[in-house]
Structure 1
Amino acid sequence: MGLKTVIPAVSKADLAHLGAGEVGYIRKMKADEVSRVFPEAPEIDPSLDLWALFGADGTPILLTDNRSSTFYKAAEDDLRTVSLH
């Protein structure tokens, strides 16, 4: 007899709140993506390397051209960080 793994059902709402206020993620962004995520941002030079910090639920927190700034902001907000590629 083999063991059967049971995975509990998790709703999309449960996933959206997982890590809220505790985890933030850092992602490199292209200038053409910025207006979709940060609608208030001015037009940005497409040659810039940009970095964004998001809350666990995808809420945008910070946009910068300095990767270190995302880590400083996360630490300031007591967020553990993960990077997305």
Structure 2
Amino acid sequence: DINVKDALVRTALHQAAANGHEVVVQLLMNKGADINAKNSSGLTALHQASANGHEAVVRLLVDKDADINVKDPSGLT
């Protein structure tokens, strides 16, 4: 299951995006990873890539139609 979650409700896509692994992010998206899945903190892969300054990953996610309007628990997009 490409969308399996760990104890913190993180998917492989969350982890790859948070760490800036562009090739892995692309592979996971091509395999059908849920691009808008939220972790236990209510964050998506896009939130995590953005917060960690991974611009190339942000572009990949946005180009694959990641929802740019998903709000985090603080109400920020």
Taking structure 2 as the reference length, what is the TM-score of the superposition? Answer: 0.27
More strand by share: 1
Tell which structure's C-alpha radius of gyration is larger: 1
Q: Could you say which structure has the greater relative contact order, defined with CA pairs below 8 angstroms and 6 or more residues apart?
A: 1
